[in-house]
């Protein structure tokens, strides 16, 4: 039986070898390092937060303080899953290439060091392609896999199609794995530790409240429940904590199972988060997008003829 990976994953850091860092010792034994596929022009290391400075050419100047506080709280509990990408600018000094939001939140969380990919090549596409290739080769736990997917999407501009074709996985698998990052930190810790399986985690995602997800996760561990048993508990609405507070008048109703299933199918179809709600008189479908380019991609899937109007409005 292979040894259980310790602690939480490091996202893309799990895919590249640990390299020498000035003033530090390697954090990986020779056997593990030899098992990792090389990524030319990049190495992984834990760097002091104070040794990293922001990129002066970073076009983004405003950061949502509330969102940073939320990210810092999560990092304080589970650590930083997605390493930042930096370049060396001097002895034990580094400059951010990607990940300033994560770096800022890590400072708020009072972390002394964070995982980082130290890049020595100027070719983003080469580094991205090498990491995608290594993702196919490495044995990652579900959260490591999700963090690697998310970072490839966010920092390197990879698409769901690229990931699916390069690593031999389906697009729904990638979408479902990414949803694991929406679980509360306490549940994520159990998934990372191997106490909860990815199947358990995906089942818990169908619950609407954090309290219900954490409560049922505890039951899974305590009672050794199977994934099928968890799905039956959720279907029979027995997942809520017994001491849960009564629903306030006017609060949002939990999504019906058929609507949750429809939202999941639409999320897989459009490769983004989709919510489906039904009110007393009418319902609504909300499709999220990250940028104009992302909106164009979604519209091309929904209605190819309409995508041209979005491009025309932007030009």
pLDDT band at 239 (very low <50, low <70, confident <90, very high): low
* Farthest CA pair distance, the chain: 65
- Please state, in angstroms and rounded to a whole number, the distance separating the CA atoms of residues 88 and 121: 11
Q: Which position among 100, 133, 211, 231 bears the catalytic label? A: 100
To the query of whether residue 288 is one of the catalytic residues in this protein, the response is no
Question: Could you tell me if 270 and 302 are in contact, meaning their C-beta atoms sit under 8 angstroms apart?
Answer: yes
**Neighbour count for residue 242 (Cβ, 10 Å):** 6
Residue 46's SS3 state is strand
Rounded-to-integer distance, Cα 29 and Cα 18, Å: 9
Residue 37 has pLDDT above 50, yes or no: no
pLDDT tier, 48 (very low <50, low <70, confident <90, very high otherwise): very high
Higher pLDDT: 12 or 228? It is 228
pLDDT tens by residue, 90-124 = 898 998 888 888 999 999 999 999 999 898 867 77
Question: What string of DSSP letters covers 110-131?
Answer: T-SEEEEEEE--S-HHHHHHHH
Report how far apart the first and last C-alpha atoms of the chain are (Å, whole number): 58
In percent, the amount of the chain with pLDDT more than 70 equals 72
Whole-model pTM? Answer: 0.56
Q: How many whole angstroms separate alpha carbon 210 and alpha carbon 218? A: 12
Enter the tokens of residue 198.
């990815």
Share the mean pLDDT of the chain: 75
Q: Which of 66-70, 192-196, 253-257 has the lowest mean pLDDT?
A: 253-257
Q: What residues form DSSP beta bridges with 103?
A: none
Looking at residues 193-219, what average pLDDT do you find? Answer: 88
Q: Facing residues of 96 across strands? A: 86
Q: What burial letters (b/e) apply to 293-303, b meaning 16+ CB within 10 Å?
A: eebbbbbeeee
Q: What angle, 0 to 180 degrees and rounded to 10, lies between the N-to-C axes of helices 171-178 and 257-270?
A: 120
Highest-scoring range by mean pLDDT, 9-13, 56-60, 274-278: 274-278
Q: Has residue 49 got a pLDDT over 90?
A: yes
Nearest to 127 by CA among 146, 155, 102: 155
């Amino acid at each position: 039986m292979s040894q259980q990976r310790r602690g939480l994953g490091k996202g893309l850091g799990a895919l590249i070898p640990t390299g020498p860092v000035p003033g530090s010792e390697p954090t990986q034994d020779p056997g593990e390092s030899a098992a990792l596929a090389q990524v030319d022009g990049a190495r992984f290391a834990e760097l002091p937060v104070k040794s990293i400075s922001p990129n002066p050419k970073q076009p983004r100047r405003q950061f949502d303080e509330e969102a940073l506080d939320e990210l810092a709280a999560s990092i304080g509990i589970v650590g930083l899953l997605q390493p930042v990408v930096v370049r060396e600018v001097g002895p034990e000094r580094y400059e951010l290439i990607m990940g300033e939001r994560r770096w800022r939140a890590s400072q708020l969380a009072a972390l002394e060091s964070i995982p980082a990919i130290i890049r020595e090549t100027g070719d983003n596409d080469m580094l991205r392609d090498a990491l995608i290739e290594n993702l196919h080769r490495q044995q990652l736990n579900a959260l490591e896999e999700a963090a690697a997917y998310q970072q490839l999407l966010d920092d390197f501009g990879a698409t769901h199609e690229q990931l699916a074709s390069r690593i031999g996985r389906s697009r729904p698998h990638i979408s479902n794995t990414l949803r694991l990052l929406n679980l509360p930190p306490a549940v994520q810790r159990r998934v990372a530790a191997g106490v909860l399986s990815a199947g358990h985690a995906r089942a818990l995602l169908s619950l609407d409240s954090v309290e219900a997800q954490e409560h049922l996760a505890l039951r899974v561990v305590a009672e050794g429940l199977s994934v099928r048993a968890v799905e039956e508990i959720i279907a029979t609405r027995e997942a809520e904590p017994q001491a849960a507070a009564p629903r306030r008048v006017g609060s949002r109703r939990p999504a019906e199972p058929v609507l949750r299933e429809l939202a999941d199918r639409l999320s897989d179809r459009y490769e983004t988060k989709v919510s489906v709600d039904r009110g007393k008189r009418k319902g609504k479908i909300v499709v999220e997008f990250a940028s104009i380019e992302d909106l164009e991609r979604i519209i091309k899937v929904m209605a190819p003829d309409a995508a041209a109007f979005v491009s025309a409005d932007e030009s």
